[in-house]
Structure 1
């Protein structure tokens, strides 16, 4: 039976409400973040050749997939986002052994071999994020992960310090894709009110990775060889790659709709069928240049993203500063063996887990309550911000506690309590800002994440380099006090600024929702 063009056009409109889908019907009150995603909004309902979803419950729409499928994708994305950050700090307890074997006599050179991975993470997202918005999440994520796997394995075979630093840089470049694309995957498959738990698990992986890494690295270094700190990660990463190859599927709506349009063109013989992203004037060159430039455009033109990126960059810098200086504190001042000293990283992990449990239970509740009371049934991204304030207070409190208890050489549990409080604050800050960014930039979540990750990776690279000199001059007490005061100045005003000015900034932005 031949399928007519009129039948196809009717099928395309099936399930769509013209009253609600036309641009004229989208009043300012109805333009919530949910209504501005590319999944349900039509550019021109009068275009007979425009291919979109067959209604909000279309089974091909990632947000309509089965609950189990969406959680499977979330867990795989979280696994990728966990294993790469493990590499950022797993060699921290082994820096002494690495420097001795590879003749890296300068302390700066040893710390450079640790933080060069994070520096590369600043540049990888500018390529990985936009490419995932052109070709889809699945192929780009797996290609970059394979790149990371090869160079991380090569680190274990390095014979000189220069070889190790070069391989670490390229491993960091490939591993950076997991974090930025993972954020886009969560935006693809979860609706706004469902994202709390998924983002919580995802961000927990990115935070636990740098914490679990040194814990394992200490035991590996003491009882085996520092080279196995790389090879062990590669084995685990290869297993994740195999699972992703078998069970991960594409989630990016423009790519899925493009496949649907291609299938319909073949079935109907109508070459004019297209999606809103497949216009004749949109050549590959234009798309490529736009996609690669978009993170820079977001970072330089979006005040919302600038505030988020600045604060999270400082928080990440503090985290990696603490991770890199833990071996100095526990092996010198507390005279612990390197393997036992690594157990103190669990304090940071406990803080992350406590922060996750509290923040996850509250953030969706607060969002829904504000939506009902303040928004009169309409959700706003700013309803993610209230819990950012307690996080902004816990970070300096934890730093102050950790610094002065270490300075006065209190029992080891006291610095660990301080770093746990710090870790809970970091978790609050990261989860709130991640959800807020996803709600503000739903279509360009990967590019927004790439822009933010660029700034925070630079901070994560730089902070460990000056950490030894900071504590040598001010010691742990006054050094952490200085860092805590800066965190207080940056963190406390941020939620108030975004709460009051966020809506007006979003209205003036061509990229933001609302």
Structure 2
């Protein structure tokens, strides 16, 4: 047993106390209400032993890091730190070494930096220690974990609390997605305000969506270093502020720059909320919560033209559109500020800092603290690897292409419907926005249907070992519906056909859209479990690029090809993509082995 003394007690007293603790093992997590005298009398800090770790299932082989483990930690010897609960809450590095866990190319320098933060040392001693480096972690370090039944562990929060936070965070995603499409309900106000054409006005939507693809390069590292809560608070605060110049900009250039920056700032919700939900739910039960998140980025944009079409027609004011968006974003900013931190590495870092102060032991820390944050590793995980995956992983690229297509088609609807209903039926922006309601209804139906898909998956993995292809059930069901929606839109684009025909196309498309995204998002995670964060970053980048590009040519395409063939061209592409989930379901494993540089999936890693 490893322990640390806080005073110079005799060996016999320490020996006796050690025997007592061995008989009744307890962790030392100081009571916040304990007085200084009680703390001064504390002699030992209880830690885990080789036997206790082995009883918890730890072996010499390190587990695959959880999807939410710090991306910049290299050669981790204790990746279970953020998911495992131990009776004592402290795991010595020496004990990990004893069961065969070793690290390479890791210096003791970071340990001594934390030492110096806790104790003032002479300059000579500091210089001497800087020169003393090793290729292993300091064996005296004790890694902090959650204790058994820990109330600070988000997985242990009451179920209703976790679901309330899930709904609120999904509301944040709806807010951001709403903001990206809010101006599509009043493009005429932009044209009138700045005396520009429709193409220039459309850029106010596209540039914010482009910002969605670049923002994660900032907010993912911020989240890793300082936690989700800080990332949400800072980014959403900036998003709220930059809606002000959007409303007051004297020229189009200023508006476009501010819209792009709004996309960069607001993107934290799109890239981090899925992680926040995963923080609160273990892998076995998070599917239903992730389904709510899958609904939000597709339902949110539908509300933009729906709400602001009425604002545009009633007031003819561009600035009011942005004031309403600012109010929505401000309300969500305040609400999210009250959600506690969910990111386990940051929660444990704060606990380690508290324990170092209360025990006087400067070597209590997390593994991320012990190894330090590698800028190169962080750049690799957040920027380099996602771009490398985009050109070296055909399976990932094909899956992301389908996600990108569905997301792009949603934005295409925002510009196709004004042509179909505005030019064919003579509807103004308010009524055109109402025609998008069936998309929202279809997406909500799909949200309920994901519960059935998730129950089927849970039942399947209880009977046998899971594979990534098991996640494709939702996409196989939803893919035909997305194509049917586009075929229906093209077929019903006739003056003599009542508006219910083309409007109902959104019902089928919305249903298929959410099922496809929910299913393929889980498929990507299971295919690239070892680098899931990087694979999802590739998806966000490609999806946002497509969502930004489609609005730029959708209106012209409908004018050049006609209402029928413009929709049918998209329907042909969407119909061809139906083969992807079915093909991957049959031959996905073989394709991953043949086409991928390395198989990172759950079945290849034996999970």
CA distance in 1, matches of 2:582, 2:225: 33
CA distance in 1, matches of 2:515, 2:540: 17
Deviation for aligned residue 1:484: 1.7
CA distance in 1, matches of 2:586, 2:149: 33
Tell me which moved more, 423-432 or 382-391.
Answer: 382-391
* Equivalent position to 1:204, from 290, 295, 313: 295
Partner of 1:369: 459
Partner of 2:214: 123
- What does residue range 231-380 of structure 1 map to in structure 2 within 5 Å? 231-245=323-337, 247-280=338-371, 282-283=372-373, 285-286=375-376, 288-293=378-383, 294-359=385-450, 361-375=451-465, 379-380=466-467
Structure with greater contact order relative to length (CA < 8 Å, sep ≥ 6): 1
Partner of 2:205: 114
- What does residue range 417-428 of structure 1 map to in structure 2 within 5 Å? 417-428=504-515
* Equivalent position to 2:579, from 479, 492, 498: 492
Does the 8 Å CA contact 1:92/1:114 hold for their aligned counterparts? yes
CA distance in 2, matches of 1:312, 1:498: 17
* Equivalent position to 2:544, from 421, 440, 457: 457
Deviation for aligned residue 1:489: 2.4
Please tell me whether residue 53 in structure 1 is matched to residue 145 in structure 2. yes
Deviation for aligned residue 1:354: 1.4
* Equivalent position to 2:83, from 17, 29, 40: 40
Please tell me whether residue 23 in structure 1 is matched to residue 59 in structure 2. yes
CA distance in 2, matches of 1:66, 1:141: 23
Which structure has the greater CA radius of gyration?
2
* Equivalent position to 2:490, from 388, 396, 403: 403
CA distance in 2, matches of 1:115, 1:39: 38
* Equivalent position to 1:92, from 166, 184, 203: 184
Does the 8 Å CA contact 1:204/1:353 hold for their aligned counterparts? yes
SS at match of 1:91: helix
Deviation for aligned residue 1:366: 1.3
Partner of 2:163: 71
CA distance in 1, matches of 2:241, 2:576: 42
CA distance in 1, matches of 2:256, 2:189: 15
CA distance in 1, matches of 2:484, 2:268: 33
Does the 8 Å CA contact 1:186/1:199 hold for their aligned counterparts? yes
Deviation for aligned residue 1:370: 1.3
Does the 8 Å CA contact 2:382/2:537 hold for their aligned counterparts? no
SS at match of 2:145: coil
Tell me which moved more, 489-498 or 475-484.
Answer: 489-498
Tell me which moved more, 271-280 or 172-181.
Answer: 271-280
CA distance in 1, matches of 2:344, 2:181: 35
Partner of 1:186: 277
Question: Aligned in 2, Cα 1:143/1:55: closer, same or farther, shift over 3 Å?
Answer: same
SS at match of 1:122: helix
Q: Deviations over 1:376-425 (max 9, x none)?
A: xxx44432211211111111111111111114652111112212101100
Question: Aligned in 2, Cα 1:508/1:267: closer, same or farther, shift over 3 Å?
Answer: farther
Partner of 2:227: 136
SS at match of 1:216: helix
Deviation for aligned residue 1:182: 0.5
Which one has the bigger helix percentage?
1
Please tell me whether residue 471 in structure 1 is matched to residue 507 in structure 2. no
Deviation for aligned residue 1:347: 1.3
Question: Aligned in 2, Cα 1:17/1:207: closer, same or farther, shift over 3 Å?
Answer: same
CA distance in 2, matches of 1:146, 1:32: 27
CA distance in 1, matches of 2:163, 2:54: 32
Q: Deviations over 1:23-62 (max 9, x none)?
A: 347799xx99999866336997336634242456433322
Does the 8 Å CA contact 1:62/1:251 hold for their aligned counterparts? yes
Deviation for aligned residue 1:70: 1.6
Does the 8 Å CA contact 2:438/2:506 hold for their aligned counterparts? yes
Q: Deviations over 1:171-192 (max 9, x none)?
A: 1111111111101111111112
Deviation for aligned residue 1:232: 0.5
Does the 8 Å CA contact 1:309/1:455 hold for their aligned counterparts? yes
Deviation for aligned residue 1:374: 3.3
Does the 8 Å CA contact 1:134/1:291 hold for their aligned counterparts? no
Does the 8 Å CA contact 2:50/2:96 hold for their aligned counterparts? no
CA distance in 2, matches of 1:25, 1:288: 24
CA distance in 2, matches of 1:38, 1:303: 33
Q: Deviations over 1:137-164 (max 9, x none)?
A: 1101221111211112321112222222
CA distance in 2, matches of 1:244, 1:373: 39
Q: Aligned residue pairs: how many?
A: 504
- Cα RMSD (Å): 3.2
CA distance in 2, matches of 1:94, 1:307: 35
CA distance in 1, matches of 2:529, 2:141: 25
CA distance in 2, matches of 1:433, 1:128: 23
Q: Deviations over 1:184-233 (max 9, x none)?
A: 11111111232232122222221111001101011111112222111101
CA distance in 2, matches of 1:273, 1:188: 23
Partner of 1:169: 260
Identify unmatched segments of 5+ residues in structure 2.
7-17, 19-26, 29-44, 70-77, 85-90, 98-138
Does the 8 Å CA contact 2:487/2:571 hold for their aligned counterparts? yes
Identify unmatched segments of 5+ residues in structure 1.
none
CA distance in 1, matches of 2:525, 2:428: 43
CA distance in 1, matches of 2:474, 2:201: 38
Deviation for aligned residue 1:267: 2.7
